[in-house]
Amino acid sequence: MDAGNQSRGSAGLVWYLFGFRFLALMLGLFLTNLNTPDASPHLVTLPSIFPGMGPAGGPQGPLWIVTAFLFFYHFCAAIYAFRCSEKKFYVYLLIFSDLVTGLITNVFLGSAYMLLGFVLPALEAALFLGNSAFLFAVLLPGFIYGVLVAGEMVSITSTSVNLHIDLAQEGAAKKVVLKYCVDMLKYVVMVGVMLLWIFKTAVGLEEEIAETKRIAQEEKNMIIEDSQNDKKHIQGLSNALTEKENEGDDLKNKLKESKEELEKMYKKFHEQKNQATAQTELYKEKEKEMTLIFEKRLKEGEKDVEGIKKKLAKIQALLDASMELNKSLNPEEAYMSIVEHLLKIIPAQTCILFMLESMEGQPEIFAEVAYSPYSDFFRNFSLRLGEGLPGWVAEKQKPVKIDSGSVLIDGAELQTLLTYEKSALVAPILYEEEILGVLYLGRPDNYAFTIENLEFVVSFANIAAVTLQNAQLFQKTIAGGMYDDITGLYNAIYFNERFSEEIKRSQRYEALLSLTLIDIDNFTRINEEYGTESGDKLLKEVAEIIKAHTRETDVVARIQSDEFAVLLLQSDKSSAVLISERIRMAFEMRSMARAKKSKIHSSLSIGVANFPVDAKNKEDLIAKVEEALQQAKNKGGNNTSYPSG
């Protein structure tokens, strides 16, 4: 835990240090009897080079200045402790200042101020910086104070002996010796308590190290377990591929047997033909008949051979596609790879990959990748389960083939997505009987697809399901380092990587991409007036509203303290502005309702820019959207702005 987070959870301990500081100061003043001449001689050790400052003799005028200075310094330091905890540099400055001031006070006024010079910096290090800093703050200055205490104890012992000799003649030796024994005991108890405290802190630090190791080992075991599960999935796929290879070998053997059978039939035909030639004209008609039969069987055999070759080609194409699709674990790359490989095998005018998503709690299928001359029609295109041809296939989990614009199945009339297309193939993407998405192929001609094409698309969808499932599992595995701790949104690191990928994809496929920056107005003032807890609640509220008004395919992240960013995939500027306005107005309505209860009122400033309309590369797009956000702030906040033109 860093210093900032620790201090926010330790306000009570800061007040404890406040009281400790002044109790220790009062104790030091009490032990030195407010620096008056009546103080014990071994507790007040002002050097003789400062005449008039010591209690043992000389004028005492400047002592009230020293006392007032101590009170003033410790009052300022106590107030400073409440505000310095947000940055480690200021914590270091406070500890160093208390350490130096305490050391000077201890040297000039005596060890009665050791609590201020030694214990106080150690407590501040433990509170703001943790046990490791505490040990450092104890051990390093402890050596200096140990030397001072040892010297003072030697001084006390020497003084006690001298006083014993002098006072023995006056009959007061017992009283003085008893007093100095008590003083010696105070130092022993103080040093003992310090040693016990150091030992307890060292034990606590060792326990923290052991707990950290235990957590690291548990995380390592979880990663190993996930890797083993992934290995099982890959092994299952390998076994499936092996089975397909075995089926191919069986088909090859059948082809070989068919050829051998054809050769035997050909030989038999020639034998019968030779026998018929030696006979009369009576057998000529029979010869012709047998010739026709043989030719028919030969054609059938050739058709069987062609069918076997097609099946082999289909199996080989599926094997090749499976190998290629499983090379990538990135979902977006997997989407594009599925469409590209399917179009290579079965050419079509339109090829769409629909993926199942949840929009405002309702399952829908969204056109994730659309290859079509009418691709603009499918931008931001989605259907509910059971709606339209793809929605029906997703709900019923059954493939459909359309040959002339529409087909009637179970009382439902299903039509192609485009009126310009008459033929369509639609297959569900299923993984362990769970729907992941839908594949759609369309052509403008009637009866453009065969039943073999449909069977192939179904087999291809099964392979694509494994690819998509692996990509989703991989994304879940790495998701631990992708999210913001407070809002649960993506963090800035993941957003930057994803932003670069989407820019490249938009450049490659000439797809639209909109970027939105959202800033909370007066967020710093809210944190200062109502505390960081209220600020965190406000951040979570903004995150919920943004997620409620964007799609699951959009990328939403918290990139700075009070700034959010949204990548709206396949979205033009007008759609992005409309979505941004919905977010702003939804937050404004909730803020008005909140202000009636807690008096915390805020608003959102939003900047919107589009690629490639407003910029031709990533850097220009960032500059444009930041310029738009600044325009919104300059208008007084609670505004959505975008680059002109």
User: What string of H, E and C letters represents the secondary structure of 230-279?
Assistant: HHHHHHHHHHHHHHHHHHHHHHHHHHHHHHHHHHHHHHHHHHHHHHHHCC
- Residue 46 confidence class, pLDDT cut points 50, 70, 90: very low
Return the residue matching tokens 């051979």. 305
Q: Residue 566: what pLDDT?
A: 96
Whether the pTM exceeds 0.75: the reply is no
d(Cα 457, Cα 381) in Å, to the nearest integer?
A: 22
Sequence letter at residue 60: Q
For the stretch 446-453, contacts whose Cβ atoms lie closer than 8 Å and that sit 24 or more positions apart, written own/partner, are 446/403, 446/404, 446/405, 446/422, 447/403, 447/404, 447/423, 448/403, 448/422, 448/423, 449/346, 449/401, 449/403, 449/423, 449/424, 449/425, 451/401, 452/310, 452/314, 453/346, 453/425
β 423-431/434-443 pair status: antiparallel
pLDDT in tens, 267-303: 777 777 777 676 766 667 776 777 777 677 777 766 6
- Residue 494 confidence class, pLDDT cut points 50, 70, 90: confident
pLDDT in tens, 201-248: 554 555 666 677 788 788 878 888 877 887 788 887 778 878 877 887
- Residue 94 confidence class, pLDDT cut points 50, 70, 90: confident
β 639-641/604-611 pair status: parallel
Angle, vertex CA 340, rays to CA 337 and CA 346, nearest 5:
135
Helix axes 63-83, 11-31, angle to 10 degrees: 170
pLDDT greater at residue 82 or residue 228: 228
Cα 464 to chain centroid, rounded: 27
Q: Residue 301: what pLDDT?
A: 65
Q: H or E stretch including 371?
A: strand 362-371
Residue 154: helix, strand or coil by DSSP? helix
**Lowest pLDDT segment from 88-92, 188-192, 237-241:** 188-192
Q: Residue 49 pLDDT > 70, yes or no?
A: no
pLDDT in tens, 437-488: 999 999 999 999 999 999 989 998 888 888 888 777 666 656 556 788 889 8
CB 342 within 8 A of CB 449: no
Q: Residue 555 pLDDT > 90, yes or no?
A: yes
Count Cβ atoms within 10 A of the Cβ of residue 58 and give its class: 0-12 exposed, 13-18 middle, 19 or more buried: middle
Return the residue matching tokens 């005596």. 110
pLDDT in tens, 7-38: 433 566 677 677 777 777 777 777 665 544 34
Sequence letter at residue 334: A
Cα 371 to chain centroid, rounded: 32
d(Cα 180, Cα 89) in Å, to the nearest integer?
A: 43
Q: Residue 104: what pLDDT?
A: 79
Show the tokens assigned to 437. Answer: 């998405």
pLDDT in tens, 59-74: 344 666 777 777 787 7
DSSP class of residue 560?
S
> What percent of the chain is modeled with pLDDT above 70?
71
Cα 635 to chain centroid, rounded: 34
Cβ neighbours, 10 Å, residue 421: 22
Cα 437 to chain centroid, rounded: 26
Residue 572: helix, strand or coil by DSSP? coil
Residue 442: which of 482, 412, 402 has the closest Cα?
402
CB 335 within 8 A of CB 368: yes
d(Cα 370, Cα 353) in Å, to the nearest integer?
A: 7
- Residue 167 confidence class, pLDDT cut points 50, 70, 90: very low
C-alpha torsion sign, points 10, 15, 21, 23: negative
Q: Residue 1: what pLDDT?
A: 40
d(Cα 522, Cα 562) in Å, to the nearest integer?
A: 10
Tell me the average pLDDT of the chain: 77
- Residue 505 confidence class, pLDDT cut points 50, 70, 90: confident
- Residue 352 confidence class, pLDDT cut points 50, 70, 90: very high
Rounded average pLDDT over 559-563: 90
